[in-house]
Amino acid sequence: MSYPGLALEQAPPVSAPFRFFLTAPLFGLAAVVLLLWLGPGLLQSRWTPGLLALTHLLTLGVLAMAMFGALLQMLPVVAGAPVARPLAIATVVHVLLVAGTAALALGFVMPSSFLLRAAALLLAAAVMVLVAAAAHSLARAPRRHAAVHGMILAILALTVAVGLGLWLLVGHGWSGVALQRGVATDLHAGWALLGWIGILVCGVAFQVVPMFQMTPEYPEWLTRHLNRLIFAALMLWTLALAWPAAAQLGVLAAVVLVLGYAAFAVVTLDLQRRRKRRLPDVTLSFWRLGMGCLLATLLFWVVTRATPGWLADPRTGLLLGAGLIVGFALSVINGMLYKIVPFLVWFHLQNRLLHSGLLGTGVKVPHMKRVLPDAVSRRQFRAHAGAVILLPLALLWPDPLLYPFALVLGVSFLLLARNLWAASLLYRRESLRLAAPAEND
């Protein structure tokens, strides 16, 4: 018996997603270096070149880097459709994303319109290749469940967010083209954070939270409707911002977005509370922190709407962005890496064991818990949680709290890099052992 559209050969080689995962914390460290170098002056407004560079080192260099890797890995497994030539696609997208993100950050900081123009072309190419590969895979997906719908909508949102980002970049990098700030920046950030990142996190959570955290399944009313509602609300919001006569639609869109994401966070926390196995699990801690930050950011946004003084304060936008990027998205994605990476190491080693005919001979592959032990991951969680707690304080009182925040965040990214590289080296070592068991045993 065989299952159509799913075979081990279809899973991309482990190096395809790993290159993205191993690079992500390095961009996090680059963001920390920038923060330490530019200091509190970085936070004078949301438009300082240093802050634009820092934001994109985190959103493109860390978050999108990890999400692109996970997407290439999960498309065949979750959607049941392979990505054509996965290693070539991964190599091209990775090189373009690394070069594009570095050019963008340097282009803002130096400043250099040449680098910004290069970044526009490199990032557009990276996203086009990824979107084309994903669309090719998803079009042939035999399974169309909530995670697949989530991936499709998230990729559409990514396309909109990057399109808006490129439009903004044209204003920065090409003379004679007016820079469209304000509305275009809000739309770019909204589609990136609440569309691309938020929808992908929800869609993937519907599959992986019950599977990896041993919780009950998400209720059907949420899995069927949430991602479509969020996407529709983003379209309404875009219409309201672009066409003043439809401004009232913006209120409706905001209500749907706040209630939708709040429902997702509350249901996730409730499912985790009712999980079947009550063993310590660092991913659970990351997710709880992420959901808590999501709820706190939504609540803060509602309060700012009702408090005119806060709405006008430039720090409000910084706090909202920081809550979503570092508090919510970075926590959740960092936490997922502690499941995805050990699972991939185990899965590919198990494959090697089967292919070499060693199953049942006493040769074993390391268990997931041995690939990344909980104690090691927990140290990084403590550093990350410390950074998340310090972040709002650093934004409100940058002098002197920005430096301790940057140092704690730096420790967190260093530990994450060390843990992921250790898992990668363990994979390499075990692969060699399985390739030559007689010499080693």
Partner 1 sequence: MSARERRLDVSGLEPCEPLERTLAAAGELVPGEFLRVLHRREPFPLYPMLEQLGCAWRCQPGSTTSFEVLIWRGDDPVAAAAAADA
What is the dihedral sign for C-alpha 120, 126, 129, 133?
Answer: negative
Contact 287, 335 (CB under 8 A): yes
Q: How far is CA 240 from the centre of its chain?
A: 27
Contact 58, 29 (CB under 8 A): no
For the bound state, the minimum distance from the C-beta of residue 149 to partner 1, rounded and expressed in Å, comes to 18
Cα separations in angstroms, 115 against 57, 63, 107, 123, 188:
15, 22, 5, 12, 20
Cα separations in angstroms, 230 against 44, 234, 235:
32, 6, 9
* 111 versus 210: smaller Cβ distance to partner 1: 210
* 273 versus 276: smaller Cβ distance to partner 1: 276
For the bound state, the minimum distance from the C-beta of residue 346 to partner 1, rounded and expressed in Å, comes to 5
Q: Which DSSP string do the residues of 229-292 spell out, in sequence order?
A: HHHHHHHHHHHHHH-GGGHHHHHHHHHHHHHHHHHHHHHHHHHHHT-S-----HHHHHHHHHHH
DSSP letter at 90? H
* 279 versus 312: smaller Cβ distance to partner 1: 279
Length of the chain: 441
* 306 versus 375: smaller Cβ distance to partner 1: 375
Tell me how far apart the terminal alpha carbons of the chain are, to the nearest angstrom. Answer: 35
For the bound state, the minimum distance from the C-beta of residue 207 to partner 1, rounded and expressed in Å, comes to 9
* 242 versus 359: smaller Cβ distance to partner 1: 359
Distance CA 115, CA 335 (A): 33
Distance CA 207, CA 196 (A): 17
Distance CA 194, CA 440 (A): 51
Contact 42, 54 (CB under 8 A): yes
* 36 versus 359: smaller Cβ distance to partner 1: 359
For the bound state, the minimum distance from the C-beta of residue 345 to partner 1, rounded and expressed in Å, comes to 10
Q: How far is CA 202 from the centre of its chain?
A: 12
* 91 versus 350: smaller Cβ distance to partner 1: 350
Q: Provide CB contacts within 8 A for 200, sequence distance 6+.
A: 67, 71, 150, 151, 154
For the bound state, the minimum distance from the C-beta of residue 354 to partner 1, rounded and expressed in Å, comes to 4
For the bound state, the minimum distance from the C-beta of residue 372 to partner 1, rounded and expressed in Å, comes to 13
For the bound state, the minimum distance from the C-beta of residue 79 to partner 1, rounded and expressed in Å, comes to 11
* 7 versus 266: smaller Cβ distance to partner 1: 7
For the bound state, the minimum distance from the C-beta of residue 366 to partner 1, rounded and expressed in Å, comes to 10
For the bound state, the minimum distance from the C-beta of residue 378 to partner 1, rounded and expressed in Å, comes to 17
* 78 versus 123: smaller Cβ distance to partner 1: 78
Contact 152, 90 (CB under 8 A): no
* 120 versus 371: smaller Cβ distance to partner 1: 371
Distance CA 219, CA 143 (A): 19
Task: Using CB under 8 A, list all residues that contact partner 1.
Answer: 1-3, 6-9, 77, 80, 210-212, 214, 276-277, 279, 339, 343, 346-347, 350-351, 354-355, 359-360, 367-368
For the bound state, the minimum distance from the C-beta of residue 382 to partner 1, rounded and expressed in Å, comes to 23
